[in-house]
């Protein structure tokens, strides 16, 4: 894991000073070395900050091929690279290092853009082809590794984090439409919160040359249509294949020239990853678990039981409410996005503790809910679509059971009136993913806290329609199960923008997080599973639970999903995080932000101590969305305005 920066101009020299500033701002991603390469005509430059994990001695970047016609910087890890290296050497390629990244250069020599088909892992890279005078950039299939870009004065800027673009000279300004869409649903996979700053979407590549810039897909989820599901395979066959590729995915990610640890919660996902890793790895593995000083949110007891049972070293990372207040600004600065729960701060502090323990690599269970339908929303989609062909009475009973099991979600999962999202989705794709409807209901109170002049700009703008317009509906959603439709839309919006932003929180401390459950080879098996193996009798992640059963304690195997959520700040109006929320939202800073209504917010803040428990919990995400807005404005917008005044 590293930080990468690129600058490309079609006509005039780039600024080496700007390239250097941007690269140095990403030192936290690569504290071991920072290097630049600039072409002889000075129209292309690449920067790299290195976190040494594979090939500690010769793996420095930027890399070049034998005749110095190709130059490359990479952020991420490529798995199964040794086999590819040996094949390249047999075919006459001269490799200068033992690193995983170098295979991209030589695969590109052979396959051109088709090299992407052979890459397995999480990555973003920039490759300059001097012979063709073009820049080739790409991002991994799920968007685990970030890659942002912007234009200014006919120069293309690219970087692992947006703050590097701002350091190079891009102006940080709010993209008001993106902000609105992110508040009330989620941005699509190409947008950011900042005007003119875009993302290379997951599973896409970028080509920049004298003709301009093109962005094209090279991979998509491609869920099967109803007719393509194989009815002949047995459950046992599916589980055997799934267990094999699951074990392979974990084992590939244990390869490193530094110690490897695991994040561990009390759930199936991280417990399965740890269990497989311990059985396959010759050395003792440390399991790092965040614990909270609030029993309802703490998974320490279950995680400790798992670690002791599987034979790992259990390392608790104790977090208190004061820790969230003390570090929320740093966490938001690193994340570059809005936060709706303090779990982002928890990830930031968890990675700091891992770094202090001397670890640079950890495996996590991230992505299981996205692949295996782990969220409550997928279960509701399953029941409402009646995949099991139940009678009307049995279906009502199952809906009631789902409601009783999840009282905190009842209001948003079963709204009392028809929502706009329901109308739009039914018209376009035939059904409404439960997560989209729930988002619309839960975020509705925000409108009373926003500036009317801001809201008036978007009276005719529909965030749901905007998301659907960015999707290949005919190719990816038509004739798919409602469960798969919901998963597809989640994985094209919330996954890269609201979950995988954790990359920036972990790399803030130079910690590489590897995600075996977001492996595209694993996904190729999962995508073919019948929906009743994703959800069975309201049991979420059924296939993963069964395939990983040999690696799970009985407690974890039978335990329902518990989301990784930090304690709600509004539960106790006397805690330090709630005091910070009060201070921030009553401050002069709010007056500067063109979205927020300061008077309405003060009225709400005055009334929170009088509210009942449930109402306060429902307000927590709204409060944190507004506070993170203020922090982003302070850290990025205000500072640039001051610098240019």
CA 379 to chain centre: 22
Taking CA atoms, 37 is separated from 6, 23, 170, 181, in Å, by 10, 11, 21, 38
What pLDDT sits at residue 62? 95
Residue 357 φ then ψ, to 5°: -80, -5
Region 354-379 average pLDDT:
95
Phi and psi at residue 622, to the nearest 5°: -65, -40
24 preceded by a cis bond (ω within 30 of 0): no
Same domain as 429, residue 388: yes
* Residue bearing the bigger pLDDT, 359 or 321: 359
Domain, as residue range, for 355: 226-371+499-558
Express as a percent the part of the chain with pLDDT over 70: 96
- Contacts of residue 15, Cβ cutoff 8 Å, sequence gap at least 6: 7, 168, 169
Residue 75 within a domain:
yes
Conformation bin of residue 467: beta by default, left when phi > 0, alpha when psi is -120 to 50: alpha
| Residue 568 domain flag | no
Query: Do 509 and 490 lie in a common domain?
Result: no
Query: Of 400, 371, 366, whose CA–CA distance to 505 is shortest?
Result: 366
Pairing of strands 313-319, 286-292: parallel
Q: Where are the alpha helices (DSSP H) in 294-451?
A: 300-310, 321-335, 343-356, 368-372, 376-385, 392-405, 410-413, 420-428, 434-443
Of the three residues 495, 511, 535, the one that is the final residue of a domain is: 495
Print the SS3 string covering 490-551.
Answer: HHCCHHHHHHCCHHHHHHHHCCEEECCCCCHHHHHHHCCCCHHHHCECCECCHHHHHHCHHH
pLDDT at site 416? 67
User: Do 236 and 195 share a structural domain?
Assistant: no
Residue 459 CB neighbours (<10 A): 6
Asked if the structure places residue 569 within a domain, the reply is no
249 & 160 share domain: no
**Residue 39 in marked binding region:** no
Among 240, 237, 302, which Cα is nearest to 558's? Answer: 302
Cβ atoms 14, 172 nearer than 8 A: no
Q: Supply the DSSP symbol for 295.
A: T
Residue listed under structure tokens 């600024």: 15
Banded model confidence at residue 291, pLDDT cuts 50, 70, 90: very high
Q: Which residues are catalytic?
A: 2
- What pLDDT band is residue 52 in, cutting at 50, 70 and 90? confident
Residue 641: the pLDDT is: 47
Residue 29 above 90 pLDDT?
Answer: yes
Tokens standing for 315? 């390392």
Kindly report, residue by residue over 417-458, the tens digit of the pLDDT: 677 888 899 999 999 999 998 999 889 999 999 999 999 999
Residues 337 and 386 grouped into a single domain? no
Calpha distance 529→228 (Å, rounded): 11
Contact 86, 128 (CB under 8 A): no
**What is the number of domains present in the chain?**
4
In 537-620, DSSP assigns E strands to none
3-state SS assignment for residue 26: coil
At residue 493, does pLDDT exceed 90?
yes
Q: Is 77 helix (H, G, I), strand (E, B) or coil?
A: strand
Q: DSSP 3-state assignment of 304?
A: helix
Tell me the longest C-alpha to C-alpha distance in the chain: 74
Identify the top-confidence range among 136-145, 314-323, 552-561: 136-145
pLDDT in tens, 382-422: 998 988 888 889 888 888 888 888 776 777 777 766 778 88
Same domain, 398 and 426: yes
| pLDDT tens sequence across 191-217 | 999 999 999 999 999 999 999 999 999
In this structure, the answer to whether residues 268 and 285 fall within a common structural domain is: yes
The residue from 460, 495, 530 where one domain ends is 495
What pLDDT shows up at residue 570? Answer: 64
**Residue 565 pLDDT > 80:** no
Structure tokens at 2: 């590293």
Q: Is residue 571 included in any domain, yes or no?
A: no
Q: Both 239 and 206 in a single domain?
A: no
Q: Is 302 annotated as a binding residue?
A: no
Q: Are residues 185 and 283 in the same domain?
A: no
Residues 516-545, mean pLDDT to the nearest whole number: 95
Contact present, 103 and 117 (Cβ < 8 Å): no
Q: pLDDT tens, 160-185? A: 999 999 999 999 999 999 999 999 99
pLDDT tens-digit map of 227-270: 887 777 899 999 999 999 999 999 999 998 899 999 999 999 99
Asked if 39 and 182 sit in the same domain, the reply is yes
What is the distance between the alpha carbons of residues 247 and 249, in angstroms, rounded to a whole number?
Answer: 5
Residues 6+ apart with CB under 8 A from 53: 1, 77, 256, 257, 258, 360, 361, 512
User: Of 217, 238, 262, which one is at a domain's C-terminal end?
Assistant: 217
Contact 189, 157 (CB under 8 A): no
Tell me, yes or no, whether 252 and 172 share the same domain. Answer: no
C-alpha radius of gyration, the chain, whole number? 24
Among 57-61, 299-303, 470-474, the range scoring the smallest mean pLDDT is 57-61
Give, in degrees to the nearest 5, the angle at Cα 519 between 184 and 145: 55
Residue 100 labelled as part of a binding site: yes
State residue 403's pLDDT score.
83
367 marked as binding residue: no
Residues paired with 77 in a beta bridge:
122
Domain-embedded: residue 588: yes
- CATH code assigned at 363: 3.40.50.620
Q: Evaluate whether residue 295 is within a structural domain.
A: yes
| Confidence at 574, pLDDT banded by 50, 70, 90 | confident
**Does 232 share its domain with 353?**
yes
Phi, psi of 41 (to 5 degrees): -90, 0
pLDDT band at 615 (very low <50, low <70, confident <90, very high): confident
Q: Taking the mean position of all CA atoms in its chain, how far away is CA 507?
A: 13
The confidence score (pLDDT) of residue 644 equals 42
User: Could you identify the residue written with the tokens 């593995």?
Assistant: 285
**Cis geometry, peptide bond prior to residue 62 (ω within 30 degrees of 0):** yes
Q: Between residues 553 and 620, which one has the greater pLDDT?
A: 553
Q: Which helix (H) or strand (E) covers residue 290, if one does?
A: strand 286-292
Residue 565 resides in a domain: no
563 within domain boundaries: no
Composition of the chain by helix, strand, coil, percent to 5: 50, 15, 35
What six digits make up the tokens of 182? 């992110």
Instruction: State residue 645's pLDDT score.
Output: 37
Q: Is 449 helix (H, G, I), strand (E, B) or coil?
A: helix
- Cα–Cα nearest to 363, from 228, 498, 517: 517
Q: Is residue 640 scored above 70 in pLDDT? A: no
- pLDDT of 577 strictly over 50: yes
């Amino acid at each position: 894991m590293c930080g990468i920066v690129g600058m490309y101009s079609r006509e005039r020299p780039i600024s080496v000073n700007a390239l250097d500033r941007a690269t140095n701002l990403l030192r936290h991603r690569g504290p071991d070395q920072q290097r630049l390469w600039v072409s002889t005509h000075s129209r292309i430059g690449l920067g790299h900050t290195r976190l040494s994990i594979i090939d500690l001695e010769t793996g420095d970047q930027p890399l070049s091929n034998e005749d110095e016609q190709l130059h490359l910087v990479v952020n991420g890890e490529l798995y199964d690279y040794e086999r590819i290296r040996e094949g390249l050497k047999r075919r006459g390629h001269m490799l200068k290092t033992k690193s995983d990244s170098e295979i991209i250069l030589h695969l590109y020599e052979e396959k051109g853009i088709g090299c992407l088909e052979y890459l397995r892992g999480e990555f973003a890279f920039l490759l300059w082809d001097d012979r063709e005078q073009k820049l080739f950039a790409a991002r991994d299939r799920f968007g685990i590794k970030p890659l942002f870009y912007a234009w200014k004065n006919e120069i293309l800027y690219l970087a692992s984090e947006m703050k590097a673009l701002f350091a190079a000279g891009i102006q940080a300004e709010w993209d008001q439409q993106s902000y609105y869409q992110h508040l009330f649903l989620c941005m699509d996979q190409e947008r950011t919160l900042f005007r003119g700053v875009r993302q290379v979407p997951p599973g896409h590549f970028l080509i920049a040359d004298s003709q301009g810039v093109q962005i094209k897909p090279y991979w998509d989820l491609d869920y099967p249509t109803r007719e393509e599901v194989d009815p002949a395979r047995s459950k046992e066959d599916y589980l055997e294949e799934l267990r094999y590729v699951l074990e392979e995915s974990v084992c590939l990610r244990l390869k490193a020239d530094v110690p490897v640890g695991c994040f561990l919660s009390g759930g199936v996902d991280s417990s399965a990853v740890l269990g497989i890793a311990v059985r396959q790895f010759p050395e003792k593995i440390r399991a790092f678990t965040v614990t909270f000083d609030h029993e309802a949110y703490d998974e320490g007891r279950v995680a400790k039981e798992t670690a002791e049972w599987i034979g790992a070293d259990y390392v608790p990372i104790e977090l208190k409410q004061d820790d969230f207040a003390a570090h929320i600004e740093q966490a938001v600065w690193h994340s570059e996005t809005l936060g709706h729960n303090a779990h982002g701060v928890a990830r930031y502090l968890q990675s700091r503790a891992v770094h202090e323990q001397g670890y640079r690599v950890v495996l996590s269970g991230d992505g299981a809910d996205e692949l295996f339908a782990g969220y409550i929303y997928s279960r509701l989609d399953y029941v409402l679509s009646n995949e099991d062909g139940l009678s009307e009475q049995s279906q009502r009973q199952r809906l009631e059971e789902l409601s009783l099991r999840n009282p905190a979600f009842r209001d948003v999962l079963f709204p009392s009136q028809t929502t706009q999202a329901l109308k739009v989705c039914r018209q376009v794709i035939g059904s409404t993913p439960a997560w989209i409807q729930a988002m619309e209901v839960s975020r509705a109170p925000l409108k009373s806290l926003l500036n009317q002049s801001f809201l008036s700009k978007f009276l005719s703008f529909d965030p749901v329609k905007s998301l659907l317009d960015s999707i290949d509906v005919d190719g990816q959603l038509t004739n798919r199960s409602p469960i798969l439709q919901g998963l597809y839309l989640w994985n094209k919006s919330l996954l890269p923008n609201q979950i995988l932003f954790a990359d920036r929180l972990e790399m803030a401390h130079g910690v590489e997080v590897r995600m075996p459950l977001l492996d595209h080879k694993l996904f190729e098996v999962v995508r073919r599973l019948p929906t009743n193996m994703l959800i069975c009798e309201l049991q979420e992640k059924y296939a993963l639970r069964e395939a990983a059963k040999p690696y799970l304690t009985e407690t974890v195997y039978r335990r329902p999903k518990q989301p990784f959520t930090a304690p709600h700040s509004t539960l106790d109006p006397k805690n330090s995080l709630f005091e910070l929320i009060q201070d921030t939202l009553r401050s002069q800073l709010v007056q500067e932000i063109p979205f927020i209504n300061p008077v309405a917010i003060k009225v709400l803040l005055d009334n929170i101590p009088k509210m009942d428990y449930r109402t306060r919990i429902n307000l927590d995400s709204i409060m944190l969305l507004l506070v993170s807005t203020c922090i982003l404005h302070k850290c990025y917008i205000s500072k640039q305005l001051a610098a240019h005044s």
